[in-house]
Amino acid sequence: MNPFIQTSPIACKTLYSRLSFLLDNHTTPKLSLSFDTIEDFLVRALYTPSSVPTYPSVSTGLVPNESLDEVYSSTRDGHLQWFVHSHKQDVSVPKWICSCATEIFFEGDRPDILPDDDEKGLISSIIQCLSRLPHDVRSKLLNSVVVIGGGAAIPGMRSRIQTSLEKAWKQKFKITDTEDKSLFRFLNASPLEATFQGGSLLGDVKVKGLVEVSREGFNGSQGRGVLDWSVVGGLGEEGVEESKRKSRG
């Protein structure tokens, strides 16, 4: 299966970066942000809307941080009060940040753009991966999709992926709603279980001297010390591409 792996640099680490920018520029009063502070807001306030927002004409896959306020201005609906434990104070945060920060996973899926590979949206990446598979393997994977990782715990994330994936797949293969109302089957998992499923699977592999990452180590490195599972799974980024090249040859 290694030749069919599809990786993307747009993951929770990128979400943290965007959220850091938004909180740094749109909170009142301004905060001195730490990784723990950003994580607290992510866990307690973020959600993914079920419907796709109306995007402006932006040439790149990802909306630049400096344009986020303008792009998502139509979603303004007041402010919320966020109590920051580390500062022992309430902070005012625009509510649009809560619903639009996670759009970083989907902005590269817009049909009117051709993003670079490193700006491709989550749905486009999944479809590209599935399209590479042999038909017999693909049909099995369509019925056993698992959303894992920290992002899986964000309310609305799983349902948004499923809805967007169904729509994009039907458009790609020109399938009408009457032919099949549900092409993908997402395996049920509670948000807490989904967060750790990937780590649990990887823990079973134990390759190349991989060691566990403690919570203290993760927080201390702000998540930078955690590698993608496809890298620690035995190939590495260069190995994944080399395996793909050999399979095409």
Judge if 17 and 69 occupy the same domain. Answer: yes
116 inside domain: no
The confidence score (pLDDT) of residue 72 equals 82
Check pLDDT > 60 for residue 80. Answer: yes
- The number of domains in the chain is 3
134 inside domain: yes
Judge if 16 and 53 occupy the same domain. Answer: yes
Residue with the larger pLDDT of the pair 178 and 237: 178
pLDDT-derived band of residue 123, with 50, 70 and 90 as boundaries? very high
Judge if 190 and 234 occupy the same domain. Answer: no
Judge if 144 and 218 occupy the same domain. Answer: no
164 inside domain: yes
Mean pLDDT of the chain: 79
At 15-56, the pLDDT tens digits run 999 999 999 999 999 988 999 999 999 999 999 988 887 776
Check pLDDT > 70 for residue 121. Answer: yes
Judge if 139 and 166 occupy the same domain. Answer: yes
Judge if 130 and 91 occupy the same domain. Answer: no
At 188-237, the pLDDT tens digits run 877 777 777 766 665 555 444 455 566 677 667 766 666 554 454 444 44
110 inside domain: no
Q: Which residues constitute the domain of residue 43?
A: 10-105
**Of all residues in the chain, what percent carry a pLDDT higher than 70?**
73
Residue with the larger pLDDT of the pair 243 and 19: 19
Judge if 216 and 199 occupy the same domain. Answer: no
At 96-117, the pLDDT tens digits run 999 889 999 999 898 877 767 7
pTM, entire model: 0.78
CA distance 158 to 152: 6
The confidence score (pLDDT) of residue 57 equals 66
4 inside domain: no
CA distance 11 to 122: 9
Domain boundary among 76, 105, 134: 105
The confidence score (pLDDT) of residue 70 equals 84
Judge if 97 and 18 occupy the same domain. Answer: yes
2 inside domain: no
131 inside domain: yes
pLDDT-derived band of residue 179, with 50, 70 and 90 as boundaries? low
Judge if 39 and 99 occupy the same domain. Answer: yes
Judge if 81 and 136 occupy the same domain. Answer: no
Judge if 154 and 174 occupy the same domain. Answer: yes
